[in-house]
Structure 1
Amino acid sequence: MKLENLRMFCLVVDEGSISQAARLSYLSQPAVTRQIHQLENFYSTLLFDREEGRLRVTEAGKLLYPFAKAIVNDFNHSKEVIQQSTGAYNTNLIVGASLTIGEYLLPSLLGKFKKQQPEVKVTLTIKNTPRVLEDLSNDVIDLALVEGLVENTDFIVEKFADDELILVCPSDHPWKDRKEIQVEELGNERMIWRESISGTRLIVENMLREHGVLEKIESYMEIGSTQAIKSAVESGLGISILPRLTVARELDQGFLREVGISRIDITRNLWLVRKNKRFNKIGVSNFVNFLQ
């Protein structure tokens, strides 16, 4: 059995497709299929089935996956440790980030990090929090930066920053010159929300529910993009409560106005999440030290 067969098996499982694994590996589909068949011959069992044209991992494949992933990762780590000891290594780092952090905070952080550590090759993937944590669990990424709830107790979870949620309105709104409003006044406005599964929305809804005004607010529009929500507010379609880091530029340029809500301060934590490993890649260690 070859290590490359295990590596390819993990890639096919992660991508859910032989064709996608072949594309990422710069191989033909028959070459990938041949590696999978070699592995199946070694274990004397099928690792994948096809149902209605879709690839499905068999029970044997599910049992093999965590062991194969650990073997491949340990080999990669051993190679990096030896290269590091001889001074002949190129470090790399794969960071997964949730949407708000990945789009608004991480680019500037990575820019500063690269100035300090130009030898580290950084790859960034941006997904919603559950999918980022799934990638971390499956060793697709080295570490995660998320704002959502982290329920997996096997992860190392550390706060690396916080972000305030603020009320914003158009620059010509009647509230534009007010420093703050009473929470009850929100009932007279049209609210523009993120989608229902958004972590930001859940935080805001819980706050409004606690103050007895959630049911009084007109949910005028639901949009799955923060950038689109900002554009809608700028156009006068309504108001919204958004993370400060996502509207900093619009506030500076005067396209949006911030209005405080009396006696209410909504702050959420931003989390650095890692797996507890015996050996950490040097890129991971350097980036964690940078954030801390």
Structure 2
Amino acid sequence: MRYSLRQLQVFLAAAHFENITRAAESLSMSQSAASSALKELEQQFDIQLFDRIGKRLQLNELGRLVRPQAESLLAQASELETSFSQHLQPGHLTVGATLTIGNYLAVDLMARYMLEQPQAKVTLDVENTAAIASKVLNFELDIGLIEGELQQPDLDVLPWRQDQLVVFCSPEHPLAQRSEQALTDTDLLAATWILREKGSGTRQTFDRIMTGILPELQVLLELQHTEAIKRAVEAGLGLGCLSAVALADAFKRGSLVPLQIPHRNTERWFYFILHKQKYRSAGVQRWIDLCRQSVLQS
């Protein structure tokens, strides 16, 4: 074989950081050793994988073409090493989750996974849908769990579980007295709203729900965190619209009140997203299985 796994590690680190010094640091190598490994890889095949722009390394067309294959090969090599030492048990995972999933569902799933695999570690990255999709595309995450619809040719988007958004208010809000009655579009337009930020799956679904009246809605605040939205609505600043998963405890306590909008479709799906060219380890498959089992048990 005319290349080494170490050379591929340097290539992928350089592709990620676009800088050989930072790539070397991430691999605990000297800069000269990393530079030599990358140079030897290119010389062995008489190719160039990067365009050099000052100190910046930018993948060229060939580099972009072979990067997914290199990622997959290293992932398989890593799993093989794990299999030798752990007898084919699922190993470490890097999981991305959007805020609703990350805050209300993913921690229990992590606990179940690590209970099954005591030596395994799950790293959880909680961000909005756009950020999670970007990291899966860039091979920074093994799998993403998202709330929003996504059209990306390099990603597999697989349905996981159904969800529903719920409009809600504080118990002191005038509309709370009509919690058993259906609100009209006139009611929705007269209210002020506290919403998730653009780029989030929840906001994407809300915008779809409010098709036809969206430009006329009075949006007072756009916040990144569901708990901040709930606190703002509890304080009487307006109506909110979040996942039923995020609101269940508040409805039980009576600190928030659900409102009815049956004339608008508030259902949506949670999804798995995976890079089409990234190797799917036993750990990724076990994570998906646990996620699907959790729906059957809920």
- Say yes or no: does 1:189 pair with 2:191: yes
Superposed counterparts of 1:91-170, under 5 Å: 91-152=91-152, 156-170=156-170
Output the CA distance in 2 between the equivalents of 1:286 and 1:206: 33
Task: Give the Å deviation of 1:36.
Answer: 2.3
Superposed counterparts of 1:251-270, under 5 Å: 251-270=251-270
Is contact 1:183-1:262 (8 Å) kept? no
Output the CA distance in 2 between the equivalents of 1:248 and 1:27: 50
Task: Give the Å deviation of 1:208.
Answer: 1.9
- Which of residues 56, 71, 79 in structure 1 aligns to 2:81? 79
Output the CA distance in 2 between the equivalents of 1:114 and 1:182: 45
Output the CA distance in 1 between the equivalents of 2:126 and 2:90: 24
Q: Deviation per CA, 1:163-220: give whole Å up to 9, x if none.
A: 21011212321223432442321111111222233332232222222xx433442122
Is contact 1:17-1:55 (8 Å) kept? yes
Is contact 1:90-1:119 (8 Å) kept? no
Task: Give the Å deviation of 1:100.
Answer: 2.5
Is contact 2:160-2:270 (8 Å) kept? yes
Structure 1 pair 235/162, CA: closer, same or farther in 2 (3 Å)? same
Output the CA distance in 1 between the equivalents of 2:229 and 2:198: 14
- Say yes or no: does 1:67 pair with 2:69: yes
2:7 maps to: 5
Structure 1 pair 37/205, CA: closer, same or farther in 2 (3 Å)? same
Amino acid at match of 1:220: L
Output the CA distance in 2 between the equivalents of 1:63 and 1:186: 49
Please give the secondary structure, in 2, of the residue aligned with 1:160. strand
Task: Give the Å deviation of 1:106.
Answer: 0.6
RMSD over equivalenced CA pairs, Å:
3.1
Task: Give the Å deviation of 1:140.
Answer: 3.3
Superposed counterparts of 1:213-252, under 5 Å: 213-252=213-252
Task: Give the Å deviation of 1:269.
Answer: 0.6
Task: Give the Å deviation of 1:50.
Answer: 4.1
- Say yes or no: does 1:199 pair with 2:201: yes
Please give the secondary structure, in 2, of the residue aligned with 1:110. helix
Specify every segment of 5 or more residues in structure 1 that has no aligned partner in the other structure, as ranges. none
- Say yes or no: does 1:208 pair with 2:210: yes
Output the CA distance in 1 between the equivalents of 2:182 and 2:60: 58
Output the CA distance in 2 between the equivalents of 1:182 and 1:89: 52
Output the CA distance in 2 between the equivalents of 1:132 and 1:278: 15
Please give the secondary structure, in 2, of the residue aligned with 1:103. helix
Output the CA distance in 2 between the equivalents of 1:53 and 1:275: 29
Is contact 1:80-1:281 (8 Å) kept? no
Structure 1 pair 189/278, CA: closer, same or farther in 2 (3 Å)? closer
Output the CA distance in 1 between the equivalents of 2:104 and 2:23: 30
Is contact 1:49-1:57 (8 Å) kept? yes
Structure 1 pair 127/42, CA: closer, same or farther in 2 (3 Å)? farther
Is contact 1:77-1:279 (8 Å) kept? no
Task: Give the Å deviation of 1:154.
Answer: 6.6
Amino acid at match of 1:93: L
1:56 maps to: 58
Aligned residues: 288
TM-score (norm 1): 0.82
Structure 1 pair 128/218, CA: closer, same or farther in 2 (3 Å)? closer
Amino acid at match of 1:270: F
Specify every segment of 5 or more residues in structure 2 that has no aligned partner in the other structure, as ranges. 293-298
Structure 1 pair 146/249, CA: closer, same or farther in 2 (3 Å)? same
Output the CA distance in 2 between the equivalents of 1:225 and 1:52: 39
Is contact 2:142-2:284 (8 Å) kept? yes
Amino acid at match of 1:257: V
Q: Which moved more, 1:2-11 or 1:191-200?
A: 191-200
Please give the secondary structure, in 2, of the residue aligned with 1:261. coil
Structure 1 pair 274/215, CA: closer, same or farther in 2 (3 Å)? closer
Amino acid at match of 1:203: T
Q: Which moved more, 1:265-274 or 1:40-49?
A: 40-49
